[in-house]
Structure 1
Amino acid sequence: MTSTAAFLRSSLIMLAVGVLILLGIVGSSLWLVQANREYSDETASLRRVRSAIVGVLTTVQDAETGQRGYLLANDIVYLAPYTTALESLPKRRQNLIDNVKSQPSYAMQLDALNEAIDGKMNELAKTVALTREGKTAEAVAVVRDDAGLVYMNKVRAILGDFLDQTDGRLRVLVEKQLSAASTLQMVTIGGALAILVVLGGAILIIVQHVRDLSLATKEVELLNVGLEARVNERTEDLMRANQEIQRFAYIVTHDLRAPLVNIMGFLSELDTAMKAVSTYVLADNKTLGEQDIQDARMAVEEDLPEALGFIRSSTRKMDALINAILKISRDGRRKLQPERIDLKAMIDTVAANVHHQLVETGGTTETRVRIGNIVNDRFSLDQIFGNLFDNAVKYQMPGRPLKIDVDAYPDGPGRVRIDVKDNGRGIATNDLERVFELFRRAGEQDQRGEGIGLAHVRSLIRNLGGDITVQSELGKGSTFILTLPADLTKIVRSMEL
């Protein structure tokens, strides 16, 4: 019990530790995955911001490049970058605004950026228009005024600051992502190692428990071997003692029966002699007095016949009792013949013998056998169940259909228990043991018998190495509990040694 309790306690502790570690791993993993997702979302947003910044800057630079080529060459072909930039700039400026307006560090510089871009684009448009009108010198003068340069430098400065902020934040996010990935890896590895440790501890506990169970099982087996040997010894001793008693009973009853036979023979002769005396006494004899004659007549006609009747009745009863004792003694001295028996079939056969008596009162029998075939003495079992069924029929409750239930099931290693239950008259508590005594009867004596049936049953079953007890309640019925060895062979062999 202590070992089992310790095993359960250790197992629960290991299970709790394992669950906590697993919850820690799962919780940490979920948190790190969520953090990494947030980092990834922010990184994607910053990459869109950076793309928008670069798009605006390159567009403005392309416009400036096209304007300068056109001014230098005065060829419309060089104006293509300017034209393209002019068309795409509004969309790119709006894209930039949409991506940075929610971030204060960017949003506060948007007005200055828009002002610088507008100033630069106006300066470019003005110079392009003057060049188209052939006023190249004026256009160059506008360029040399450095107003456009100031606007362009401001655009580059603001957008460069945007890029610096974006790149700096991206570097921080990359570092955080790498750190989260490293942490997740460490948590996974650490958790795996911890689980392996817990698993190893659990395996050690199980191995130790199995070893303890194995040792305990071996000890129990050793004890059972010794116990079974002692039980067999005691059983054999009891059987031998029972046989000695039966042999003694045989000798006693045999010696007692011989003089009874003689007495019965002499009684027959006395009966014959009495007829002669009766003839003489009843004859007309003048020498006898009237009183003597009356006394003689009384003795011959009443006293002697009455005495002889009592003697005959008593000797018949004693002869019946002695015959019963001889029957028990003979059964006890009979050599047991173990054979394989289908218990259910045998009980059903015995029940069939009283079927007609049960049908008369609406009675039934039910047999439930939860064991396989047994090896036992068929004659003894027939006698045992026959007596129990006959008793159930004999002592059924008047006015109530008799019901007999038989239930056979294992009762420990190598043992069988058979419960024979009826709903008859029942037996009083103080008579539960007396009913198994020879020539003792319990309850109302309204049935013929000498009181040897259950004594015979107990003698038979103890001769088989078993026993019988009874549980009963007056008016409700009785349950006779039989215990038997499942294999009688070992006991018979030990008796022959």
Structure 2
Amino acid sequence: MLLAIVVASFWLTRLSERQFDEVVAARETRSAAADLLSLAQDAETGQRGYLLSRDVAYLGPYMNAVSRFDTTLQRLKETVGATDATRSEFNRLEGALRSKLAELAQVVALAERGAWEEAIAAVRQGPGRDLMDEARAGLSAILSQSEQRLQHAIAGQEAASARLRWTIVAGAVALILFAVAAFWTIARYTREISAARNEVAALNVGLEQRVQQRTEALTRANEEIQRFAYIVTHDLRAPLVNIMGFTSELEATAAPIKAYFEAGSSAAPAALEEASTAVNVDLPEAISFIRSSTRKMDGLINAILKISREGKRVLRAEAIDLPATLEAAAAAVHHQATESSESGGGVIVECQPLKIRTDRLSMEQVLGNLLDNAIKYRSPKRPLKVVMRGRREKSGWVVVEFEDNGRGISPADHERIFELFRRSGTQDMPGEGIGLAHVRTIVRNLGGDITVSSELDVGTTFTILLPPDLGAVQRSSTT
């Protein structure tokens, strides 16, 4: 743009200079033509005055005109133009002027010799007037043409000057606009750099937080593995010890039976009674205890397999309307929650409109388990009331709270209830102690965590913290 402005300004300046030169040339032509016409008139006037007064003093204008004639004529010739028509007109004008000067000189010469009457007769009869009229007409034409050239050149100069002014103004405006655009671009680029730096700083902080969270999660997982190993070895060892003990008892029970059959008909009544006791009492009891221990082992193994399968299941992130999901979970247990509740009881949903991307099946399992526990461990002293709340934190994470007015959990058991095969409080309800352990496994698979706060005989609140997008968590875990 600057180059275009410079080129345009230079061209318009040169055009203005050419128009100015044309103005000067037209003025010079007009001035030379006017001077030449004035000289011709002065020469003729001097001649006439000299003839009338016969005083040599009147020849002053004539002599002055004659002395300046050639110089003025040459000046006019240089400025008059270069076309063929102009040269032809100038040649006719020059011939008429020179003929007029020759006629004037002839008359003056006659007068100087004293032939006054002859000189006056030459003026009256000679071609002097026609030559003067022709010269005056030619010079008038040149004056008219030069005036037109002058007006045209002035108009062209004014137009070139106006264009130059507008070019400068437009160029200045364009440069200002470019400067503003450049400033805006630089400012935006600076803001983007600043935002990028802030984002990098935030990412660094977030990375440190994620590393800390991952470290804490790995620590918790390691602790859980250790507890899990202890629980598995302890809980599986107990039924195995029972099986081993009652197997030894079976061996001991077989001894009197064998002795009775070996004695045959000669067996003593005491041997018969001992064998009968072993068959009817000791043997069924041992088999019953062995069967009970194997059932317990089978339940423990199935629970372990259930949690193991949950950890291996492929999670599918999809958009979930959280309020609608909570309402659906509440509707599924509505009958159980309200069968003994009075007005104001049951399951209440208080959730702001929000959507998250997570695994729908896992979310439904978590909600179902927590609602089943709230219904199962309701307080007999008051109607059941469960409030499910959902909100989005400033950090973007989603918080889901389950608040009930049930029996409550002892502070010492707040962490213990999430362990496998562990239960809290009075064991008057059926269960294996895997529900909350399963819930925590699911929540952590979703990239979140679950905590509990409770007071005995007041109620319990489970707080679930979930990421807004499971897909982002999965991508982060793979990088």
Equivalence map 1:72-87=2 (5 Å): none
CA–CA distance in structure 1, aligned partners of residues 217 and 359 of structure 2: 15
Pick which of 298-307 and 223-232 moved more.
223-232
Structure 1 match to 2:98: none
Cα distance change on mapping 1:259 and 1:354 into 2, 3 Å: same
Matched, 1:336 2:318: no
AA matched with 1:404 = V
2:433 to 436, 451, 455: 451
Matched, 1:436 2:414: no
Q: How far off is 1:461 after superposition?
A: 0.9
1:419 to 401, 410, 413: 401
CA–CA distance in structure 2, aligned partners of residues 322 and 215 of structure 1: 57
CA–CA distance in structure 2, aligned partners of residues 241 and 402 of structure 1: 37
Equivalence map 1:119-138=2 (5 Å): none
Cα distance change on mapping 1:297 and 1:452 into 2, 3 Å: same
CA contact (8 A) 1:426 1:477 kept: yes
Q: Which runs of 5+ in 2 are unaligned?
A: 1-191
The total of aligned residue pairs comes to: 283
Matched, 1:462 2:440: no
Structure 2 match to 1:377: 359
CA contact (8 A) 1:242 1:463 kept: no
Cα distance change on mapping 1:221 and 1:383 into 2, 3 Å: same
Residue by residue over 1:18-41, the C-alpha shift from the partner in whole angstroms, topping out at 9 and shown as x without a partner, is xxxxxxxxxxxxxxxxxxxxxxxx
Counterpart secondary structure, 1:368 = strand
Q: How far off is 1:470 after superposition?
A: 0.9
CA contact (8 A) 1:419 1:482 kept: yes
Q: Which runs of 5+ in 1 are unaligned?
A: 1-213
AA matched with 2:204 = G
Matched, 1:479 2:473: no
CA contact (8 A) 2:256 2:271 kept: no
CA–CA distance in structure 2, aligned partners of residues 326 and 241 of structure 1: 23
Equivalence map 1:57-72=2 (5 Å): none
Bigger CA radius of gyration = 2
CA–CA distance in structure 1, aligned partners of residues 259 and 365 of structure 2: 54
Taking structure 1 as the reference length, the TM-score comes to 0.48
Q: How far off is 1:242 after superposition?
A: 7.7
CA–CA distance in structure 2, aligned partners of residues 439 and 258 of structure 1: 11
Residue by residue over 1:97-129, the C-alpha shift from the partner in whole angstroms, topping out at 9 and shown as x without a partner, is xxxxxxxxxxxxxxxxxxxxxxxxxxxxxxxxx
Cα distance change on mapping 1:368 and 1:329 into 2, 3 Å: same
AA matched with 2:418 = F
Structure 1 match to 2:295: 316
Matched, 1:232 2:210: yes
CA–CA distance in structure 1, aligned partners of residues 376 and 335 of structure 2: 13
AA matched with 1:374 = I
Pick which of 475-484 and 458-467 moved more.
458-467
Residue by residue over 1:72-96, the C-alpha shift from the partner in whole angstroms, topping out at 9 and shown as x without a partner, is xxxxxxxxxxxxxxxxxxxxxxxxx
Counterpart secondary structure, 2:469 = coil
Residue by residue over 1:127-174, the C-alpha shift from the partner in whole angstroms, topping out at 9 and shown as x without a partner, is xxxxxxxxxxxxxxxxxxxxxxxxxxxxxxxxxxxxxxxxxxxxxxxx
Structure 2 match to 1:32: none
Q: What's the RMSD between the two structures over aligned residues?
A: 4.4
CA contact (8 A) 1:332 1:463 kept: yes
Pick which of 457-466 and 389-398 moved more.
457-466
Counterpart secondary structure, 1:420 = strand
Cα distance change on mapping 1:246 and 1:336 into 2, 3 Å: farther
Counterpart secondary structure, 2:300 = helix
Structure 1 match to 2:379: 397
CA–CA distance in structure 1, aligned partners of residues 473 and 463 of structure 2: 21
